[in-house]
Amino acid sequence: MLKHPDIDEIFITHEQIVTKCEELGAIISSEYRNRIPVLIGLLKGCVPFMAELIKHITSHVEIDFMDVSSYLGGTQTTGKVHVLKDLSIDIRGKDVLIVDDIIDTGLTLQEVCVLLKDRGAKSIEIITLIDKPEGRKVTTVVPRYVGYYIPKKFVVGFGLDYNELYRNLPYIGILKESVYK
């Protein structure tokens, strides 16, 4: 695969991501076989991952999207996450599976979980393509399904951005220092 000139190294190839989505899709199909989960994608980073993942889920799913502001400037659980785009589905009594691109501190997701619980979700689980466990600042955010665990590195591609760019790369890569220095 052709490497973008701003990318230093391809960290996870497109083929690896697709294979991972096949595996995760099979597990979700099995674990939710008697339920119809609502997959809630957190915009905008979730888009490529969600699109690939749902192709490999063989049981029924509903999908919806939400955009929330990332950083609230505090570390407390307030449940007052700033919702930029809200769901169109009523999730009361539903099994929710939040789809995220990457979890670092976990602060955003903690807030989202509080919000969705308040709205009456029956169950809430998290799936993320990438987890950076070293960055975690909360203990409550434990994704049930993880594509890859990575160390504290800044990565872009397959939904992940740097200043809104590189989301369209079909792989996950590491930016050249010259791009942000």
- Rule CB under 5 A: which of 34-63 touch Mg ion? 45
Minimum distance, C-beta of residue 42 to Mg ion, in the bound complex (Å): 5
> Is residue 105 involved in binding ligand IMP (CB under 6 A)?
yes
Minimum distance, C-beta of residue 101 to ligand IMP, in the bound complex (Å): 5
In this structure, how many other beta carbons lie within 10 angstroms of the beta carbon of residue 70?
13
Rounded Cα gap, residues 41 and 172, in angstroms: 19
Among 7, 28, 39, 103, binds ligand IMP (CB under 6 A): 103
Alpha carbon of residue 133 to chain centroid: 14
Whose tokens are 């539903």? That residue is 94
- Rule CB under 6 A: which of 110-169 touch ligand IMP? 154-156, 160-161
Nearest-CA neighbor of 113 among 88, 89, 139, 150?
139
Parallel/antiparallel/unpaired status of strands 123-131 and 83-85: unpaired
CA angle 21, 23, 27 (to 5 degrees): 110
Given Mg ion, ligand IMP, none, residue 126, with its beta carbon under 5 to 8 Å by kind, binds none
180: exposed, middle or buried (C-beta count within 10 Å: 0-12, 13-18, 19+)? exposed
Minimum distance, C-beta of residue 167 to Mg ion, in the bound complex (Å): 11
- Rule CB under 6 A: which of 158-177 touch ligand IMP? 160-161
Point out which span in 33-41, 56-64, 88-96, 105-113 binds ligand IMP (CB under 6 A). 105-113
> Is residue 159 involved in binding Mg ion (CB under 5 A)?
no
Q: Residue 106 or residue 147: which is nearer to ligand IMP going by CB?
A: 106
Nearest-CA neighbor of 154 among 2, 8, 3?
8
Task: Report residue 112 as tokens.
Answer: 């989202």
Q: Residue 93 or residue 177: which is nearer to ligand IMP going by CB?
A: 177
> Is residue 70 involved in binding ligand IMP (CB under 6 A)?
yes
Residues that bind ligand IMP (CB under 6 A): 45, 70, 101-108, 154-156, 160-161
